[in-house]
Structure 1
Amino acid sequence: MHALFTLVLIFTVVYLGSCVIHPYVRCRACNRSKESVSRTFRGAFGPCRSCKGRGHHLRFGARLLGRRN
């Protein structure tokens, strides 16, 4: 049990350290293209609704650490 707790603690520290160094992850909806294509009208596009045209999201661990977009 003690070994499992130690492994979880090490994983958590490494993950949060990674979130400090690399706080963003690419947007899954637009794949960093920053655009959303209309499914109804061919050729129409606009900013991605999911990431609001930024192309990335803040990681969960970075939010826990208090980082802002």
Structure 2
Amino acid sequence: MKIYRMLTADDTAAFCHKVSEALAKGWELYGDPTYAFDHANGVMRCGQAVTKDVDTPYSPDMKLGEQ
């Protein structure tokens, strides 16, 4: 089964580390990254979708970050 996550964070090195950590854990990039201004907080925000094949059935209780 393929699972999906959307990683988001402020436009800092922390976002790049978040994506790099997901890749190191076997997640794969899915689509193009996003980049937008967050007017409420006055910062640029980044997003990147990732997917991963897992051997367990889907459950809404899954902790996707722990897969």
Normalising by structure 2, we get a TM-score of 0.25
Q: Greater strand percent: which structure?
A: 2
Q: With a CA cutoff of 8 Å and minimum separation of 6, indicate the structure with the bigger relative contact order.
A: 2
Q: Greater helix percent: which structure?
A: 1
